[in-house]
Amino acid sequence: MRFELLRPQSLSEALEFKKQNGEKAKVLAGGTDLLVLLKDQKLTADLVMSLARIRELDFIRFEKGRGVTIGALASHAAVAASPVIQQNFPDLAEACSQVGAVQIQNLGTIGGNLCNASPAADAAPPLLLTDAVLILASARGERSVSVHDFFHGPRQTALQADEILKEIFIPEISGRRGATYLKLGRRKAMEIAIVGVGVAIHLNGSDRVVSECRIAMGSVAPIPVRARRGEVMFKDQEVRDELIEEVAEIAAEEASPISDIRGTRDYRLDMIRVLCRRGVRAALNRALDKKEEGLS
Ligand SMILES: Cc1cc2nc3c(=O)[nH]c(=O)nc-3n(C[C@H](O)[C@H](O)[C@H](O)COP(=O)(O)OP(=O)(O)OC[C@H]3O[C@@H](n4cnc5c(N)ncnc54)[C@H](O)[C@@H]3O)c2cc1C
């Protein structure tokens, strides 16, 4: 594997390289996906542009009343350890803390996880539970793309040839919201998800009635997906066991998993039901524990 390595010192320098070289300059963040593909010759590149020196992309910033912004180069370890993320988006912290092993969490970035666009990307389901916006930068300027429109297919995203993911903005979510991310792998660590399910439940005021439920699933379709038909069944309802069963069944119907070395289609469908049931109960308990409040 031989390639020319570009090492821009700033975002503007990187964007200028991208403007000149487009698709030819492969972006390298932590390299835990890209270098594996290059080494296995599943991808070839003459030119690789490392973002490692662009420290302005490595941050997690919280603005009260607005939301959280995560730089594309923030590592999974940093996201998982961030008190702001743990407190407000515990599902995202849970997802990042389950990516590979410690070495991968230290090297791998949240931006690389999203841009690699694997159906199994662990950071995707928690972000699909929010109205997160991805800021894509190019020498032409910046544009915002909803996380719901970012994934186009396996390894295909809304990114254009001259663009770089700069940051992810998650708007503040106030009120009694509980969320969780559950992942099934063949082992407890260092494993790509066989199925990953994120659930967020928002309760009405001080009672037990659900104002909104969101369910997002990974490894069950060509891109990470929401189980929208299942979600709406909770609207304005109290969570009951029979309803959880029904929603888990419908969520499985909304998935289109394949059989591969990690699991068969039928096993994945079964596991969606199991993780949905557990996820709804866990998210509900977290919501019930919350007082009316915004980000903290
Ligand atoms: C042993 C091992 C275990 C793993 N386990 C998991 C797991 O459990 N869960 C999981 O989700 N993933 C897992 N992965 C995959 C990988 O670690 C993650 O997807 C990681 O987040 C990728 O981030 P990175 O910074 O290393 O990306 P890179 O490899 O540097 O880049 C990945 C892709 O994104 C592009 N890219 C990166 N950053 C940007 C940017 N800012 N703008 C535009 N394009 C960009 C690159 O060009 C490349 O196409 C594992 C990988 C390995 C090797």
User: Per DSSP, what are the bridge partners of residue 143?
Assistant: 136
Kindly give the distance from the C-alpha atom of residue 112 to the centroid of ligand 1, in angstroms, as a whole number: 4
Q: Do domains 4-48 and 176-289 have the same CATH topology?
A: no
Q: What is the pLDDT of residue 32?
A: 97
Kindly give the distance from the C-alpha atom of residue 201 to the centroid of ligand 1, in angstroms, as a whole number: 29
As a whole number of angstroms, the distance between CA 57 and CA 74 comes to: 7
pLDDT in tens, 86-111: 999 999 999 999 999 999 999 999 99
Token pair belonging to 203? 């309760």
Whether 161 lines ligand 1, by a CB cut-off of 6 Å, is: no
pLDDT under 50 in the chain at which residues?
A: 294-296
Burial degree of 5 (CB within 10 A; 0-12, 13-18, 19+): exposed
Tally of CA atoms within 13 A in the half-sphere of 234 that contains its CB: 33
Question: What count of residues does the chain have?
Answer: 296
Whether 29 lines ligand 1, by a CB cut-off of 6 Å, is: yes
Identity (one letter) of the amino acid at 226? R
> Residue 28: which of 116, 102, 96 has the closest Cα?
116
As a whole number of angstroms, the distance between CA 16 and CA 164 comes to: 11
Kindly give the distance from the C-alpha atom of residue 105 to the centroid of ligand 1, in angstroms, as a whole number: 10
Q: What are the domain boundaries of the chain? A: 4-48, 57-171, 176-289
Output the CATH code of domain 57-171. Answer: 3.30.465.10
As a whole number of angstroms, the distance between CA 148 and CA 164 comes to: 18
Output the CATH code of domain 176-289. Answer: 3.30.390.50
Output the CATH code of domain 4-48. Answer: 3.30.43
pLDDT in tens, 119-156: 999 999 999 999 999 999 999 999 999 999 999 999 99
pLDDT in tens, 159-172: 999 999 999 999 99
Ligand 1 atom at minimum distance from 218 CA: 11
Site to substitute for ligand 1 among 99, 102, 188, 223, most atoms within 8 A of C-beta: 99
Kindly give the distance from the C-alpha atom of residue 104 to the centroid of ligand 1, in angstroms, as a whole number: 9
Q: How far is CA 145 from CA 40, 75, 138, 167, 220, in A?
A: 31, 21, 13, 11, 23
Q: What is the pLDDT of residue 144?
A: 98
Q: How far is CA 32 from CA 69, 110, 120, 175, 237, in A?
A: 23, 11, 14, 37, 43
